[in-house]
Amino acid sequence: MAKPLTKSQVITGVSEAAGITKVQAKDALEGLSGLAYKHAEDGFTIPGIGKLVKVNRKARMGRNPATGESIKIPAKTVLKFRIAKAAKDAIVG
């Protein structure tokens, strides 16, 4: 299995694909991530890739696998990324 791209490899790829400098590509990616952090609560969509959403999970009962004892799992807020259909079709086929 191939290694995932590093941050510098992603920046280089974006700069070459868009015909911009690496500094401009880095600024664009940082701007995109800043927008995602700021607007994740409302749902942040990256067209063609997916949507970042904030989800509230309810409290629930779970089980300790070591002892079999029932435990209460508290409610919490999590981030989920929902893959766009276009991305899924392009990658999975």
Cα dihedral value 38, 41, 47, 48, nearest 10:
120
Q: What is the pLDDT of residue 75?
A: 97
pLDDT score, position 32: 94
Indicate the CATH number for domain 40-93: 4.10.520.10
Predicted pLDDT of residue 93: 83
* Domain limits, the chain: 1-39, 40-93
With a cut of 90, say whether residue 66 has pLDDT above it: yes
**pTM exceeds 0.75 for this model:** no
Q: Tell me: pLDDT of 1 over 80.
A: no
| pLDDT tens digits along 30-60 | 999 999 999 988 899 999 999 999 999 999 9
